Amino acid sequence: MSRNQQSIWHKTRQKQDILSATPARLELVPERVCDLELCTAETLHRTQEELKFYRRLYENIPSVYFSLDTTGIILSVNQFGASCLGYTVEELIDKSVFNLFEHSDKQRLVDVFRELLKSSSNSEIANWEFRLGCPASKILWVKVVARFLPDGGENYLADANLIDKCPQKNPQILMVLEDITAHKQAEDVLRESEQRFQSMANTAPVMLWMAECDGLFTFFNQSWIKFTGRSMEQQQGLGWLEGVHPQDQEFCQEIYDSAFHARGKFEMEYRLKRHDGEYRWILDTGVPRFTPNGKFVGYIGCCIDITERKLAEVGLKHSQEAVQAQLEEMESLNRLKDEFLSTVSHELRTPLTNMKMAIQMLGIALNQEQNFLLEMTKPQAERSKASRYYEILDNECDREINLISNFLDLQRLDTGAKPLVLESIQVQQWLWRVVELFKARNRNSCQQKLRLSVAANLPLLACDPFSLERILIELLTNACKFSPPDAEITISAQLKSHNIQFQVINSGVEISSSELLRIFDKFYRIPSNDPWKQGGTGLGLALVKKLTKHLGGTIEVESGSNLTCFAIQLPLSSEV
């Protein structure tokens, strides 16, 4: 009883007292009756307002609320719930609640109700999940909470014909349907995603594994199971380590633990026992997994068999070691060869020098006795045998001396032992002197016409004049050897970009394209029908190329249209 009700009862009791009192007191009765009527009307109004408020709450609670009789007939439903199911309230009243569910779940719900009616008076069902079968429903899945309210101790029977029974007038069962459609759809999506992952993982041509946030392994795909020949249960946890080679187990555990605590990616190579007992090399890569909000949930990893690669690496290493050993041996042999040739060259130079001196002395003696110099000026056919023999002896001695000198110079250039002696050269004057010196030395052997062409106002050239002179003398010597008599040989110098270009051009002879690729090789001589006519050491052009590179320049050769041109470009300034 409320406080207002107590107050009304108290006034009523006062009224009864007044009726038994004297008439003088009866004059106040009409006034007290009016007060009582006024108080009752106000209370009734407030009660009606409260009922309207709670009714609005009930109609708009965001769930489906039913009151049912014991046979499942709907006695009442809230407005919000009816709209969600796609009906009006009137369409649901006096209808069986079981018809709102899918056929496959209808019998299950009937069984639940039967158990509910058989149980104690305060029994209820909770968290049962069912599918709805309402065509226009916004809800597909619901969680059912129902409670049985016994009425005055009546005995209700629950038989197989619950749905067909007549509804009770008083509500006996309260049922609440909570929408779990989004949750079930999320479960379906998750389940489908897990099935898709399982399908992809088990058909992947590599071995996959997964570990949880506690570091224990929980999943291995079929490739791993097939490779190891062990069951999933044997591999889970840390059981996979049993298949790792004993020498690699501690290493694997350390790498994994270190990466796990750092929540980082890792790679490791180890030997894993295959189902046939053979240990195979495995490359294992693990990547940490995180939820969208950044929570660490474990690892996923991929393993591939790299045994063939490891064997290839071992083979390559052995091959590299063998090649390195061969290179070292070749370098040693090459060094011994160079030392031997250098020693032999030095040993040969001394007797050749003595031979040259003896030949010169022989020429002086013969000249005194037989006027030998006059004999040497005669044509070849008119000379005496002694003069011809003397010329052959003198030429061949010079040839051998040049061969040894060129070889020693090449050796020094290869080892970097020949230093540059830089000078500033006035090109026009210097080049004229070199050409005149060549004419004087080769007065008898050079029968071609030498023409000098030097551009005006050439800047000074910083260069080693002795090396450059040797280059030009060698090129002029070759031009004279291979050009016809009375042909013209041109020596030119001109400015080209930031370089000075020297050219030696001879006419009357060409070099084939196949020979151009080899003319700078050591000991290579262009084939000739008469090898004695234009004999040489085969080192002259090789030395020219080495000296040009030593000076910081380049050399090119072109041959065609009955002309052959050697072009040398040297920078205007050189760094010592």
Q: pLDDT at position 160, please?
A: 38
Pull the structure tokens for residue 413: 């250039």
- The list of the chain residues with pLDDT below 50 reads 1-31, 33, 152-169, 171, 529-534, 575-576
Q: pLDDT at position 11, please?
A: 39
**Would residue 222 be called left, alpha or beta, if left means φ above 0 and alpha means ψ between -120 and 50 degrees?**
alpha
Q: Which of 533, 568, 526 is nearest to 551 (CA)?
A: 568
Sheet of 217-220, strands arranged across:
217-220, 207-211, 296-305, 279-290, 266-273
Pull the structure tokens for residue 98: 């079981």
Contacts of 455 (CB under 8 A, 6+ apart): 493, 494, 495
Angle between helices 540-550 and 465-482 in degrees, nearest 10: 150
Q: In the chain, helix, strand, coil percent, each to 5? A: 50, 20, 30
Contacts of 113 (CB under 8 A, 6+ apart): 72, 146, 158, 162, 173
pLDDT in tens, 61-118: 888 999 888 888 999 999 998 998 999 999 999 999 999 999 888 888 888 888 877 7
Cβ atoms within 10 Å of 92's Cβ, excluding its own? 21
For domain 419-571, the question of CATH label 3.30.565.10 is answered with: yes
Strands 449-454 and 488-496: parallel
Pull the structure tokens for residue 518: 């080899």
Q: Residues for the chain: how many in total? A: 576
Q: Which of 72, 27, 298, 55 is nearest to 171 (CA)?
A: 72
Contacts of 458 (CB under 8 A, 6+ apart): 427, 428, 493, 494, 495, 500
Pull the structure tokens for residue 5: 């009700």
Asked if residues 299 and 260 have their Cβ atoms less than 8 Å apart, the reply is yes
Pull the structure tokens for residue 327: 């290179």
**What CA–CA distance (Å, rounded) separates 220 from 223?**
8
- What CATH number does the domain located at 204-305 have? 3.30.450.20
Burial 403-428 (b: 16+ CB within 10 A, else e): bbbbbbbbbebeeeebebebeebebe
State the pTM of this model.
Answer: 0.41
**Would residue 246 be called left, alpha or beta, if left means φ above 0 and alpha means ψ between -120 and 50 degrees?**
alpha
Q: Is 3 helix (H, G, I), strand (E, B) or coil?
A: helix
| Cα atoms found within 13 Å of the Cα of residue 12, Cβ hemisphere only | 9
Asked if residues 209 and 300 have their Cβ atoms less than 8 Å apart, the reply is yes
Burial 314-343 (b: 16+ CB within 10 A, else e): eeeeeeeeeeeeeeeeeeeeeeeeeeeeee
pLDDT in tens, 383-440: 677 777 777 787 777 777 776 776 666 666 666 656 667 888 888 889 899 888 888 8
**What CA–CA distance (Å, rounded) separates 419 from 123?**
111
**What CA–CA distance (Å, rounded) separates 492 from 568?**
10
Give CA 54 to chain center in angstroms. Answer: 67
Residue 261 has phi, psi (to 5 degrees) of: -70, -30
- What CATH number does the domain located at 61-185 have? 3.30.450.20
Q: pLDDT at position 529, please?
A: 40
Q: Which of 199, 198, 208, 204 is nearest to 282 (CA)?
A: 208
AA identity, residue 92: L
Pull the structure tokens for residue 31: 């006034």
Q: pLDDT at position 262, please?
A: 93
Instruction: Calculate the dihedral angle through the C-alpha atoms of 535, 541, 546, 549, rounding to the nearest 10 degrees.
Output: 170
Q: pLDDT at position 280, please?
A: 94
Q: pLDDT at position 56, please?
A: 86
Residue 557 has phi, psi (to 5 degrees) of: -135, 135
- What is the residue-wise DSSP string for 534-550? T---S-HHHHHHHHHHH
**What CA–CA distance (Å, rounded) separates 182 from 296?**
26
Q: Which of 454, 392, 459 is nearest to 425 (CA)?
A: 459
Q: pLDDT at position 2, please?
A: 38
